[in-house]
Chains A and B, each alone.
Chain A
């Protein structure tokens, strides 16, 4: 049976490590990677009237950029290494959206990279990893 692994990729170094780790696992048996890129978004944020007017246009631009500049190079790279992979780009709260994707795709695991934020930053903004650890419906791998 093909294992399905959701790997979170935000374009950062940590995300890169997560993809590499997941790719290494994928070579050990039949597996399929879902490269998930989440654009942080809250429907309860406040926008100015001009931002409301341009929101749809901006969203298209953001999605385009995420597809072309962030996710596409990873997919090309994985394909070159002979690993089966697809992408999923969504808006939302990062941890909750990753869980959503994993549930919908009936994934067998989630892989994320640790950003290494410590001290005040981590305390103030919380940590995607910690939230995921609390709510992940499938085994979670945190890559240092």
Chain B
């Protein structure tokens, strides 16, 4: 009863919020004042303009260097283990006696529903509208390298998870930082685990929540004309019902629909490519030309590199550590197998889905070029002028799909809404695991976080809180700082697991069941 009353009060507070405009500005102001230094620190640029023409944001370099180190350290594991990863997902090595437990496929699908989201639709549009077609090349490369980061973090996630007597499990970077560091006799593991948890909670509220709600609400508004506060209220209510009310059926329906939407998205993209088949070679030519030469964008091809890498990292979350939380629930005796499976994630997310978005935007001629020089035409903001005159983000992708199929923007609105919703559900879980890691488990503590989460859905949808969104982006990347430091120290453990597993696989000790 008390719970119902409380829930009602929260909902009422949400409804009363149309005094929000003022409130939102105020929140924005407070955030800008108190967190500006943090955002500036995370997105600080290195003074490299004298050397390469533009200043490089150091955090992008951090992620790429991490991914490259893991790629080399594990001997191009993303290539070597790709086939084996597919066999694992198909259940070839799953013990039939474990039927009914979490399968590799299920852990992968759930983790994917957290990463396939707005980054694939909005983020890619931002990347190519600033970085041109060439950004696509670097985005794909970042996706391929990121597979090694995912492999490392998800192996550790399973290896150092907590298994409780009642059969439930908890895992993720906070556990491997603490237990892994202790095992290797390294200091500060507990401190880093707490830092990671703080950033994860903030990232969950920001990138995993407000950013999603904001983009979904503005897409619904621009296509269907529904005010953002209605979408915000609907989203907040559904999220509330699912995570607080425990109405699993809605979540289950979404989890079932989202993969089909993802496949549908790629198929529609392929259809558009097929219609414009004569342009495909040209599009790849543009991608390669923009990747290595100055195609007229700000910062030349270095600008393309930054955009491609940044958006890929934001989309597939490799190195950020979030996916390790979802992957750690799998039932397996070999932690490394979950690492193999997880390396498919950046591949599906970035190399397949993001690339599809980029190709559709390029092939449908959304990015305006000077007919004589072939250089991009820039608007005052330094972005590439678009055919439909829309802003970057979802509207650009929507215009690109809409130029081929009139109905596509409506389908895309639905997809954006569902992708945003499923990402929020998954991130609410990541945030909650970090929250309970810090404050301990228990109904009331979990409830506090869940209610805060729902309130932020609404705030995110109704406002254009630049400072808040900047801060949440920064928190997401801050997770990567802590996580990748941890991965550097713990990667020898992964290597040992890898060598032992591969040896046993070769000797036939690990055998296929099918």
Contact = CB atoms under 8 A, between A and B. Distances in A.
Contact of B99 (A43, A46, A53): A43
Query: Top 9 A-B pairs ranked by shortest CB distance?
Result: A91-B100, A57-B167, A43-B103, A52-B329, A91-B99, A49-B429, A46-B255, A56-B167, A48-B251
Given A56-B167, A57-B166, A57-B168, A41 B109 contact: no
Nearest to B253: A46
Interface string B86-105: 00000100101001111101
Given A52-B329, A53-B169, A55-B331, 8 more contacts: A41-B100, A48-B252, A48-B429, A52-B110, A53-B168, A53-B329, A54-B167, A57-B167
Interface string B103-133: 1011101100110000000000000000000
A2 interface: no
Nearest to A52: B329
A45 interface: yes
B106 A46 contact: yes
Nearest to B326: A49
Contacts of A48: 110, 248, 251-252, 255, 425, 429
18 contacts: A41-B99, A44-B103, A44-B105, A44-B106, A46-B106, A46-B113, A47-B106, A47-B109, A48-B425, A49-B426, A50-B429, A52-B107, A56-B102, A56-B168, A59-B101, A60-B167, A90-B99, A91-B100
B259 interface: yes
B37 to A, nearest CB: 33
Contacts, number: 84
A108 to B, nearest CB: 23
B256 interface: yes
A32 B103 CA distance: 34
B369 interface: no
Interface of A: 39, 41, 43-57, 59-60, 62-63, 90-92, 100
Contacts of A47: 102, 106, 109-110, 252, 255
B170 interface: yes
Interface residues of B, number: 35
Contacts of A63: 100
Interface string B246-282: 0010011001100100000000000000000000000
B262 to A, nearest CB: 12
B170 A53 contact: yes
A56 B114 CA distance: 22
A15 to B, nearest CB: 20
A117 B96 CA distance: 30
Contacts of A100: 96
A51 B248 contact: yes
Contacts of B113: 46
Interface in B168-199: 168-170
A126 B14 CA distance: 46
- Central interface residue in A39, A48, A100, by most chain B CB within 10 Å: A48
Contacts of B94: 43
Contacts of B101: 55-56, 59
B328 to A, nearest CB: 9
A60 B252 CA distance: 21
Contacts of A57: 166-168
Nearest to A50: B429
B101 to A, nearest CB: 6
Interface string B69-95: 000000000000000000000010010
Contacts of B109: 46-47
A41 to B, nearest CB: 5
Nearest to A63: B100
Contacts of B248: 48, 50-51
A41 B94 CA distance: 14
